[in-house]
A and B are shown apart, each in its own frame.
Chain A
Amino acid sequence: MEREHDRRPDPEALLALAGREGRGKLKVFLGAAPGVGKTFAMLAAAKRLKSEGSDVVIGLVETHGRAETSALLEGQEILARKQVSYRGRELEEFDIDAALKRRPALIIVDELAHTNAPESRHPKRWQDVDELLDAGVHVWTALNIQHLESLADVVRRITGVAVRETVPDSVLQNAEDVILVDITPAELIQRLQEGKIYLPQMAQRAVQNFFTPRNLTALRELALRSTADRVDDQMVAYLRQSAIEGPWETSDHILAYIGPDDRAEILVRAAGRMATKLKASWVVVHVERSGHEETDPARLKRLDDALQLAERLGAQTQRLSADDIVEEVLRYARRENATQIVVGRSRAGWLRRRPGQSFSDKLVSRARDVAIQIIPTPEREATRRAFRWSLNKPKGLVPGVVAATAAVTVAVGTGEALSIVIRLPNLSMVFLLAVLACAVSFGLWSAVAASLLSFLAYNFFFIQPIYTFTVASPQEFLSLLVFLAVAVFTGTLAGRVHDQAAEVRQRAQHSESLYDFSRKLAGAAKLDDALWAAAAHLQKIVGGGVAFLIPEDGDLQLRIAWPPDVELNEGEMSAARWSFAKNEIAGWRTDTLPTLVKQFRPLVTPRGAVGVFGFEPMARGEAPTPEFERALTALLEQTALAVDRSLLIGEAVRAAALEDNERLRTTLLSSLSHDLRTPLATISGAISTLRQLRNRLPPEKSEELLASAEEETERLTRFIANLLDMSRIESGALKARRDYLDAADCIRNALERARKTLGAENIETSLAPDLPSFRGDAQLLEQVLVNLLDNAHKYGGGSRIVVHARREGGEAVITVTDEGAGIKPADLTRVFEKFYRGGKADGRKAGTGLGLSICRGLVEAMGGTIEAQSPAARRRGTRIVLRFPVAEIMKGLPA
């Protein structure tokens, strides 16, 4: 069992494989130097494929006018290049959009390390290739070994030529296939001399220096080695996927610790090389000492750059914060199961440069189960660094010096005044006070200025001989020196306190503004309110215009912009869409569409991106500071949450409305079902009883059953008639006549019918003698009145029913009043809704729930209104009021 389990394919290996499916495959033709024949080899292979019938397209190939290479292009489909004009120059670039549109099975794109013309979609060609692969297109490309990121500084050291165009190692690592195109250095040099290698960008002398046998041999070795490593990797990957048993080495895990200094990059590259050599995974860590966060923008930038480089070289990166850096590094190493820790040799200040005191020494002495690699790094910046901590904030220099001058002037005055009053042996204390005051209020620089000024003033005003800068006795000279030292020392201390206090204040301000922001957002339940609040706040931070884009109907739409006249052009919209789709930053100072003036950031929530924030930075040329970055990230997180919340609220409201609708429909259905089934139950029950039990029933019981069946048939007929009426009213098929009506006649007819069908004997009428005439349909009015009487009879509980008709201004008013339990105020309008009945769907009095809504339909068809009032009198009863506009029979007609 155990063994079988061990031999299962490694799930991670399978996952990596699965991740690659659906993505295009990359084949790299790798060479040691230009001119080895990569393009030729690539085209020859492509031609073979094409002749076998594959869908091959040449995306971009440089033949440099070589006939044998051009010959290979014959018969191939070649994509037109994109013309880009930049600063008056016409440049030709690979057309990625055309490639994506054409979507061949395989596309050839030469010179992977090429840098695209400004304003292209991606700055680098390898990013174009990446997008093609993402789109599922297979790509063949060519690359020289010197362009590989991790080898860039090795190549520089070997050849003395700096490599500017680099390709991340991951591109080569993720390539499906790497083909080494190899010729010997001697051959290559011969080809160069024959003029077969086209190298326009290198000066002749540089070419001579580059193409030496020594360099070429070294480069060739590099190329061969990395290809060999790859073959090894592929073998291991294959073994793992296929669960073939070992022996493959247990993998190393390397942890590199870097600081924000100039050695960071060197350390990262060294660790990267080690990791590649050991086939180890690696992580690059930086630990900040809590309370001593780095604030110098230059150093922060260096740290960021180093961490980014590490990511490009395939490392994971981590920033940590702890009091004890050594302990934290070791703790993290244990957690991550690191087998090696890579650090640079420490350059502690000379005070701490004793055995066992430096960072690397401490690490070595405290590490138990992990190997420590100390990378030698050039000694530079060391002396500058010793003072750096104290000189990092020359902000507010001018007011500081002015204040120092003022403080020292006051000190001189005070000293003079004091020396008149009392004779003091030493007045230096007064100046010390001035230095301290400057330090506390204006920081370190002011303190240093004050101590220098104090030194001079004290010497000038109070040291014999007075009013000269000369010092008479050596004793005085010594005390002056001590004074200066004390002044600088205390001033420095106080200045640091001041600086730290200022920093704390700044942080407090930052968190307060964040708090303020989140409170504003919390108050905004609606999406637009939240976005307006966020836009106004963010605009202040970024300086330029800001915009929020939210997806509507499947596409991003500009929802809110501040200032409101901000508009987005087509390029900006596509950057926004890209950012939304990929969940990454696009536009200004990114890898995607970097020439835009705006940057777009996705609003990310745990559910995914909910929108995009776009902004125009105040100063286009400057990189955003880390503080700006931090503030913006924090604010956008808040905004994303607020947007998400308001979207969720919207969805919840819609869901609730749907649910209400659903409930209503269910009620309607069960109500209809009850109203149809109940009379049917009686009819079918009575008839089947008669059939089955006729012999055992006394004749009067049989008669009763038949009467029941008949009654229920009538009830069913009424119900169906009502349903039909209702659908006629709703479909607009009902046409009311517009005759002049005699209301009294209609009422009398309705009463007659009601008495007959309902057996209601308790109906009273009160008809005004001057009852006016109005227009309508006699039959419909009669039906309305019968329905109302039927209702009054049913819900009035057998009480008295009064029908009243009179004139009120220009209206004829007819009311039907009962003395039943009445209607709740909330239901007064709802009683006219279809199928509305008090109580449960099938638990109330027999009725259709249609009576009043049919009444309303009929009355409105005749141009009148209907209204329910309750209580009608003495807290009981319901009154239904009908009003019709009076239609005067034209005067002057013969009576």
Chain B
Amino acid sequence: MKQRVLIVDDEIQILKFLTTALEASDYVVISARTGREALHMIATAAPDIVILDLGLPDIDGKEVLAKARAFTSRPIIVLSARDREMEKIEALDLGANDYVEKPFRIGEFLARLRAAMRIAAHERAQPALFESDGLRIDLERRLVSRDGVPLKLTPKEYDLLAFLVRHAGRVATHRQILLNVWGPAHAQDTPYLRVFVGQLRAKVEAKPEAPKLIITEAGIGYRLWLAE
């Protein structure tokens, strides 16, 4: 069955070429040009993935994002000309799965789209076992091992790793990690998080100085590498 993509953008030209490109890549495309229309369609047309522009004529894209997250867990990719880091962090904090800056090339965009769908599928499956690059994490038994050798993690290190595993493949912002692992009192303690990630990398990475598993998204957060 073909995947349904909802494109939300008020620029006709962008809608036009995206529709052409996505249809040529075997997606079914539906579109909305305002925030209200978008929310209505997310609720009624059940798209498999949403491409959302932030600068909409009626309500701001971030508000659409926050409202949509109240009732859907489908992946939402933000597509925007806003290039300030704060905008990206805010969108990711509000539950966007990825953030693509305009202008972009269609190849990269389609790859991000596929990745978001795959990660969403992975999250829905909620596997109790995560294996990547020789690292094995058993979420049910709280066991971590590298190449068969068990690793000793402190409880917080394990919580941090488990949180990244549950969001494998997508960017977890500093704030999201701090809120979930350390609680609301530490939501701003980014330097603290940096220290912990350093410790965790020293234990789980094959080469801690060149991390392949826990990838830094500069200024935004961390992403656990998910093999294709």
Q: List residues of A whose CB falls within 8 A of some B CB.
A: 670, 673-674, 677-686, 688-689, 692-693, 696-697, 701, 704-705, 708, 711-712, 839-846
Choose among A677, A693, A843 the residue with the greatest number of B CB atoms under 10 Å from its CB: A843
Closest B residue by C-beta to A680: B103
**Most chain A beta carbons < 10 A, residue from B14, B20, B24:** B20
- The answer to whether A688 and B105 have CB atoms under 8 Å apart is yes
For A708, give the chain B residue with the smallest CB separation. B13
A679–B13 alpha-carbon span in the complex (Å): 8
Q: Does B2 contact A (CB under 8 A)?
A: no
Task: Assess whether B47 is interfacial by the CB under 8 Å rule.
Answer: no
Looking at A692, A711, A846, which has the most chain B CB atoms within 10 Å of its CB?
A: A692
Would you give 27 A-B contacts (Cβ < 8 Å), ordered by A? A673-B82, A677-B101, A677-B102, A677-B103, A680-B103, A681-B104, A682-B17, A684-B104, A684-B105, A685-B17, A685-B104, A685-B105, A685-B106, A686-B17, A688-B105, A689-B17, A689-B20, A689-B24, A693-B21, A693-B25, A696-B24, A704-B16, A704-B17, A712-B13, A841-B55, A842-B82, A843-B56
- In the complex, what's the smallest C-beta–C-beta distance from A375 to chain B, in angstroms? 59
| Complexed CA–CA distance, A674 and B25 (Å) | 27
Per-position contact with A for B45-65: 1 when CB-CB < 8 Å, else 0?
A: 000000000111110100000
CB distance from B80 to the nearest CB of A (A): 8
> Is the CB of B83 closer than 8 A to any CB of chain A?
yes
**Set of chain A residues within 8 Å of B54, measured between Cβ atoms:** 842
Of the residues B56, B83, B106, contact of A692 by C-beta under 8 Å: B106
Inter-subunit contact B57/A839 (CB<8 Å): yes
A837 CB to closest chain B CB, in angstroms? 12
- State in angstroms the CA–CA spacing of A680 and B105 once bound together: 11
Closest to A715 in B: B13
| B151 on the A face (CB < 8 A) | no
Which residues in chain B, 11-54, are within 8 Å of chain A measured between CB atoms?
11, 13-14, 16-18, 20-21, 24-25, 54
Tally B residues with Cβ within 8 Å of A: 29
Q: What's the Cα separation between A688 and B102 when bound, in Å?
A: 13
Given the known inter-chain contacts A689-B20, A840-B55, please indicate yes or no for A680 contacting B102, CB distance below 8 A: yes
Which of chain B's residues have a CB closer than 8 A to the CB of A704?
Answer: 16-17, 20
Q: Is B148 an interface residue (CB 8 A)?
A: no
Please name the residue on chain A nearest to B100 by beta carbon. A681
Q: How far is the CB of A672 from chain B (nearest CB, A)?
A: 10
B13 and A701 within 8 A (CB): no
A685 in contact with B103 (CB, 8 Å): yes
**A272 CA to B10 CA, complexed, in Å:** 86
Q: Which residue of B lies closest to A696 (CB)?
A: B24
- Beyond contacts A682-B16, A692-B106, A693-B106: 19 other A-B pairs, Cβ-Cβ < 8 A, are A673-B83, A674-B55, A677-B81, A677-B102, A681-B11, A684-B105, A685-B17, A685-B103, A685-B109, A689-B17, A689-B106, A696-B25, A697-B20, A697-B24, A839-B57, A840-B60, A842-B54, A843-B10, A846-B11
- Residue on A with the closest CB to B82? A670
For the complex, what is the distance from the CA of A686 to the CA of B14, rounded to whole Å? 8
- Alpha-carbon distance between A673 and B107 when the two chains are bound, in angstroms: 23
Q: Indicate if the CB atoms of A678 and B17 lie closer than 8 Å.
A: no
Contact with A673, one of B16, B18, B81, B109 (Cβ below 8 angstroms): B81
Provide the residues of chain A in CB contact with B25, threshold 8 Å: 693, 696
Given contacts A673-B83, A684-B105, whether A842 and B16 have CB atoms under 8 Å apart is no
A692 to B11 CA separation, bound complex (whole angstroms): 22
Cβ-neighbour of B18 out of A685, A697, A839 (below 8 A): A685
Interface pair B81/A705, CB less than 8 Å apart: no
A685 to B109, CA, bound (A): 9
- Nearest-neighbour CB distance to chain A for B1, whole angstroms, equals 19
Which residues of A are found within 8 Å of B16, using beta-carbon distances?
A: 682, 704-705, 708
Cβ B83 vs Cβ A705 within 8 A: no
For the complex of A and B, the 6 pairs showing the least CB-CB separation, nearest first, are A842-B55, A681-B102, A677-B81, A681-B103, A689-B21, A682-B13
Cβ distance B119 to chain A, nearest Cβ, rounded Å: 23
Chain A residue contacts of B24, Cβ below 8 A: 689, 693, 696-697, 701
Chain B residue with the shortest CB-CB distance to A841: B55
Expressed in whole angstroms, the Cα–Cα distance for A678 and B60 within the complex equals 17
Chain A residues in 8 Å Cβ range of B56 = 843
- B84 interfacial contact with A, CB 8 Å: yes
In the bound assembly, the distance between CA atoms of A135 and B14 in angstroms comes to 71
Chain B residue numbers with a CB within 8 Å of A841 are 55
B20 touches A705 (CB 8 A): yes
**For B11, B17, B57, B102, which residue has the most chain A Cβ atoms within 10 angstroms?**
B17
Closest residue of B by beta carbon distance from A844 = B57
How long is the Cα–Cα vector from A670 to B84 in the complex, in angstroms? Answer: 9
Scan B77-119; emit 1 where CB is below 8 A from any A CB, else 0. 0000111100000000000000001111111010000000000
Assembled-state Cα–Cα distance A685/B24 (Å)? 14
Determine the distance from Cα of A686 to Cα of B106 in the docked complex, in whole angstroms.
Answer: 8
Cβ–Cβ contact B84 & A688, under 8 A: no
A688 touches B13 (CB 8 A): no
A residues within 8 A CB of B55? 674, 840-843
A889 to B25, CA, bound (A): 68
B106: A residues at CB distance < 8 A? 685, 688-689, 692-693
List residues of chain B with CB within 8 A of the CB of A843: 10, 55-58, 60
